[in-house]
């Protein structure tokens, strides 16, 4: 056992060393570093400070202000005149994996909130601890440490005992299971304990007002409000796949305002994940698609970044998530009926209005992306800011969403008012910042004009390291295409010599671009729904009942006495992912059998 444990430790140690530049372990930071002359946007929402002075010592900001700010003699002074400085960005909703580290840093993201338990996706406790070292080529990792499952019927004592085990793992915040009425009581007990411990509660909900009343602080996605606004009949229809998108139920402005005011009054934050949910409907979609393509053109990055994930995410801005059984999920925009496309556009507009109204009424946005399976790590942070501005937030508010407001997940529930150690440029905070070459307050897209990134007082070398991590294949990317499975065909038998006919194929995993194959040859296919396809089988495929595998040498007999020729029917779904289904046999029987035994009649 000891030998095995030592081996695991060695592997982890080697991985951590791979995250450090060769000089990262030996380079001694200057005692004091001072940045002068830049326009400072500190993440708090205060007006930008021109000709600023930022003093950094031992990885922390020790003084921040205007031109007259004092700093020690002998400090290393860096003239940043003409530049713009923002805090190191915070992605507050991730499921980050090892291959994301450099992507985040290259896009100015220096802190992550990871919702998975430590140990998942390679984020071991050792890797998490190493992430806080300034030289480590990853953002700082913060998380909920472990799952906190809840089940109907749990007693208060069971919840308390589970909490004791969980809190001993020292989480930075809490993630509870998706709220629903069945776990209402244990959810409330867990929330009480977590708030008593000064922890912020994040997670999904099927009823945002109800979960917020019980202590839910960070509302993950907007749909928990949309579901609350549905009538019982509408909710049943949504849950049974009758509606295209939840966003269309956000149209009652008076009720929306009331819900938002109540939630904000209870201290709730909103995490809208606009890029993930509706990024393809944005006016910025084509530009964002090009930005993603440019990232994946980097040869060094692609030595380790999952190719199948890149292929999926390149299609993200041409597809949209749907909740109707009439379409696959997600569905290509090009395959939507015009009326349905308009309904998605309405859902997007209403989601934008909800997000804007949240901030207008005094609420705060937790900027987060849900990456990496739904977007490009790091880059999606800038896209989220751009879509927040598109929704009606100011550039300053968008920057706050991906910096201080998101960082407040770690402090909003503290018993004593405390400012986070990241997400803003102020005395005592970690010295994490991004130097830009253009003003993000005049154009939010300028947050991507990154010249330098500092983490813990150390400027990180930008660019990608070949073989930074071992290559992996990632499942569950969104969008991606399932491998279809066939269960039946009709007709399943046909007489030899039949004319071209229509076949119905049943199964699962069908998409609007699925193609039926007859003995491996593609044939004209019509998508009926996610479980049904229709296709035209050419006469040539069933012209003869021979050859088949059941006849042996001997006296001449009619074909089909011992068995029939079969034609292989399959369905192919194209990339990303996708593949070829299992085959189902179409039996082609001899004419004499059709006449004598009335087969196929």
Query: What gap in Å lies between CA 124 and CA 113, rounded to an integer?
Result: 14
558 pLDDT tier (thresholds 50, 70, 90): low
DSSP string, 49-94: BTT-EEEEETTEEEEEESTT----TT-EEEE-TT-EEEEPEEEEEE
Q: Beta-carbon neighbour count of residue 264 at 10 Å? A: 18
What is the pLDDT at residue 579?
93
Tens digits of residue pLDDT in 368-387: 999 999 999 999 999 999 99
Is the pTM higher than 0.85? The answer reads yes
Region of residue 267 (phi > 0: left; psi between -120 and 50: alpha; otherwise: beta)? left
409 pLDDT tier (thresholds 50, 70, 90): very high
The residues that bridge with 64 in the sheet, in sequence order, are 54
Tell me the three state secondary structure of residue 13.
helix
Could you tell me which of 216, 242, 215 has the C-alpha nearest to residue 231? 242
Could you tell me which of 139, 42, 148 has the C-alpha nearest to residue 92? 139
Q: Is the peptide bond before 491 cis (omega within 30 degrees of 0)?
A: yes
Q: Quote the tokens at residue 502.
A: 């229509």
Handedness of CA 463, 468, 471, 472 (dihedral sign): negative
Tens digits of residue pLDDT in 129-142: 999 999 999 999 99
- DSSP letter at 425 equals -
Q: Quote the tokens at residue 551.
A: 């006849």
What is the pLDDT at residue 188?
98
Q: Beta-carbon neighbour count of residue 294 at 10 Å? A: 10
Average pLDDT over residues 36-42: 98
Average pLDDT over residues 392-400: 98
Tens digits of residue pLDDT in 198-225: 999 999 999 999 999 999 999 999 999 9
Higher pLDDT residue, 479 or 29? 479
Indicate whether 5 pLDDT > 60. no
DSSP string, 408-423: GGGTTT-SS----SSS
238 pLDDT tier (thresholds 50, 70, 90): very high
> CA distances (Å), 226 to each of 267, 270, 524, in order?
19, 13, 40
- What is the percentage of the chain residues whose pLDDT exceeds 70? 92
The residues that bridge with 205 in the sheet, in sequence order, are 179
Average pLDDT over residues 570-589: 93
Q: 445 and 437 in contact (C-beta within 8 Å)? A: no
Q: 571 and 515 in contact (C-beta within 8 Å)? A: yes
Q: 190 and 176 in contact (C-beta within 8 Å)? A: yes
Residue with tokens 């556009």: 345
Q: Quote the tokens at residue 187.
A: 């959810």
Query: What gap in Å lies between CA 79 and CA 71, rounded to an integer?
Result: 14
What is the pLDDT at residue 562?
65
What is the pLDDT at residue 554?
63
Q: Is the peptide bond before 405 cis (omega within 30 degrees of 0)?
A: no
The distance from CA 228 to its chain's CA centroid, rounded to whole angstroms, is: 24
- DSSP letter at 7 equals H
Could you tell me which of 128, 125, 45 has the C-alpha nearest to residue 87? 45
Q: 509 and 527 in contact (C-beta within 8 Å)? A: no
Indicate whether 168 pLDDT > 80. yes
Average pLDDT over residues 247-273: 98
Tens digits of residue pLDDT in 272-281: 999 999 999 9
Indicate whether 14 pLDDT > 60. no
Q: Quote the tokens at residue 272.
A: 């809208």
What is the pLDDT at residue 2?
35
Q: 365 and 359 in contact (C-beta within 8 Å)? A: yes
Q: 397 and 181 in contact (C-beta within 8 Å)? A: no
Lowest mean pLDDT of 180-189, 312-321, 560-569, name the range.
560-569
Q: 111 and 139 in contact (C-beta within 8 Å)? A: yes
Query: What gap in Å lies between CA 187 and CA 184, rounded to an integer?
Result: 5
Q: Set out the domains of the chain in order of their start, with CATH numbers.
A: 87-422 (3.20.20.140), 485-597 (2.60.40.10)
Residues 6 or more apart whose Cβ sits within 8 Å of residue 451:
83, 435, 436, 437
Average pLDDT over residues 357-377: 97
Tens digits of residue pLDDT in 433-455: 999 999 999 999 999 999 999 99
Tell me the three state secondary structure of residue 20.
strand
């Amino acid at each position: 056992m000891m030998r095995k444990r030592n081996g695991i430790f060695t592997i982890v140690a080697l991985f951590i060393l791979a995250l450090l530049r060769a000089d990262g372990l030996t380079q001694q930071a200057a005692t004091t570093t001072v940045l002068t002359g830049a326009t400072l946007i500190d993440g708090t929402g205060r007006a930008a400070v021109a000709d600023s002075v930022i003093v950094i010592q031992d990885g922390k900001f020790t003084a921040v202000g205007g031109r007259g700010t004092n700093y020690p003699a002998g400090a290393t002074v860096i003239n940043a005149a003409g530049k713009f400085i923002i805090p190191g960005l915070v992605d507050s909703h991730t499921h980050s994996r090892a291959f994301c580290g450099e992507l985040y840093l290259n896009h100015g993201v220096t802190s992550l909130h990871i919702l998975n338990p430590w140990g998942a996706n390679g984020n071991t406790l050792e890797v998490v601890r190493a992430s806080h070292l300034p030289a480590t080529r990853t953002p700082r990792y913060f998380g909920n440490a472990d799952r906190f499952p809840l089940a109907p019927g749990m007693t208060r004592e069971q919840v308390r005992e589970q909490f004791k085990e969980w809190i001993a793992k020292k989480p930075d915040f809490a993630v509870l299971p998706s709220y629903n009425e069945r776990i209402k009581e244990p959810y409330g007990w867990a929330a009480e304990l977590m708030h008593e411990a000064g922890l912020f509660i994040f997670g999904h909900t099927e009823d945002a007002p109800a979960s917020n009343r019980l202590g839910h602080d960070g509302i993950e996605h907007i749909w928990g409000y949309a579901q609350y606004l549905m009538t019982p009949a509408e909710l049943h229809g949504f849950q049974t796949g009758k509606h295209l998108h939840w966003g269309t139920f956000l149209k009652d402005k008076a009720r929306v305002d009331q819900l938002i005011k109540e939630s904000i009054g209870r201290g709730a934050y909103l995490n809208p994940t606009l890029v993930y949910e509706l990024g393809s409907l944005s006016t910025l979609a084509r530009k964002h698609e090009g930005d993603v393509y440019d990232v994946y053109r980097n040869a060094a990055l692609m030595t380790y970044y999952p190719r199948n994930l890149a292929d999926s995410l390149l299609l993200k801005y041409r597809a949209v998530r749907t909740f109707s059984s009439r379409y696959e999920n997600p569905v290509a925009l090009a395959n939507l009926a015009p009326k349905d496309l308009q309904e998605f556009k309405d859902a997007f507009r209403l989601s934008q209005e909800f997000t804007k109204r949240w901030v207008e009424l005094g609420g705060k946005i937790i900027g987060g992306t849900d990456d990496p399976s739904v977007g490009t790590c790091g880059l999606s942070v800038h896209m989220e800011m751009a879509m927040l501005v598109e929704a009606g937030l100011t550039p300053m508010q968008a920057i706050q969403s991906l910096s201080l407001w998101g960082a407040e997940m770690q402090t909003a529930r503290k018993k004593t008012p405390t400012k986070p150690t990241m997400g803003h440029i102020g005395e005592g905070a970690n010295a994490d910042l991004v130097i830009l070459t253009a003003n993000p307050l005049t154009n939010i897209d300028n947050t991507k004009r990154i010249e330098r990134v500092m983490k813990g007082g150390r400027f990180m070398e930008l660019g990608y390291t070949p073989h930074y991590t071992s290559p992996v294949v990632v499942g569950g990317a969104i969008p991606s295409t399932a491998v279809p499975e066939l269960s039946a065909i009709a007709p399943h038998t046909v007489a030899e010599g039949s004319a071209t006919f229509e076949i119905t194929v049943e199964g699962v995993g069908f998409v609007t671009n699925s193609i039926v194959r007859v003995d491996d040859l593609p044939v004209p296919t019509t998508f009926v729904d996610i479980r049904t396809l229709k296709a035209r089988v050419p006469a040539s495929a069933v012209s003869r009942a021979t050859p088949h595998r059941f006849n042996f040498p001997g006296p001449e007999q009619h074909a089909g006495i011992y068995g029939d020729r079969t034609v292989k029917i399959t369905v192919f779904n194209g990339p990303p992912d996708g593949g070829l289904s299992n085959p189902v046999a179409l039996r082609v029987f001899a004419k004499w059998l059709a006449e004598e035994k009335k087969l196929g009649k």
